[in-house]
Amino acid sequence: MNRSDLTVPPPGTPVPRPHPDAPVGERLGPHYARCFGCGPDHPTGLHLEAVSHDGLGVTAGFTVGDVHQGAPGLAHGGVLATAIDEALGMVVWLLRKPYVTGRLETDYLLPVPVGTTLHIRTRCTGVVGRKAYLEAEARMDAPDGPVAVRGAALFIEVPVSHFTEHGDGVGGMSPEREVNP
């Protein structure tokens, strides 16, 4: 992946330790029921399901449906980028601080046909101040299948009030959990 300097942690950036409350080996619930990425009640959503494997990364998956097409029979690139962004967002949720996507880089390596199950693996590569650096890889039809998409992102920590001022909730975060407001 040809990454910009904006998604590469500065030299010497530490990888954070897992938060003591981060679930490990558990399925992560949705942000809310109608979330396009992970909500089970969104009629055309990705219905992405994720599991934390070590408190700093997740494995997630979704099956590309007819409603996710761009070209006939193939997943829309924006839908694939959304899946990467959603899985990366679950990583920062594990840090137990509210973050938003600041920059997302996506490399498309293979076309992804409708009916394909993507297996996405993400990890946090470092945190400096309010910036969290993350990487993702999506493989087709098996955890060790061919790599179809790679992503890298910079997430920015925001106050919990960001979600109440600009949205309709806090996505599982509460003001009492906020660290470094």
Domains and CATH numbers, the chain: 16-166 (3.10.129.10)
pTM of the model: 0.87
Distances from the Cα of 84 to the Cαs of 11, 75, 80, 156, in angstroms? 25, 13, 6, 16
- How far apart CA 71 and CA 79 sit, in angstroms, is 12
Q: What percentage of residues in the chain have a pLDDT greater than 70?
A: 88
Query: How sure is the predictor about 162, in pLDDT bands with cuts at 50, 70 and 90?
Result: low
Radius of gyration of the chain (CA): 16
Mean pLDDT of 69-78: 96
Q: What is the model's pLDDT at position 166?
A: 64
Q: Which pLDDT does position 176 carry in this prediction?
A: 42
Q: How far apart are the first and last CA of the chain?
A: 34
pLDDT at 172 over 60: no
62-68: long-range contacts at Cβ-Cβ below 8 A with a sequence spacing of 24 or more? 62/117, 62/118, 62/120, 63/115, 63/116, 63/117, 63/118, 64/112, 64/113, 64/114, 64/115, 64/116, 64/117, 64/118, 65/114, 66/114, 68/44, 68/114
With 80 as the cut, is the pLDDT of residue 173 above it?
no
The DSSP letter of residue 78 is H
Report which of 16, 18, 167, 1 is spatially closest to residue 100, judged by C-alpha positions.
Answer: 167
Q: For residues 22 and 120, give the distance between their C-alpha atoms in angstroms, rounded to a whole number.
A: 19
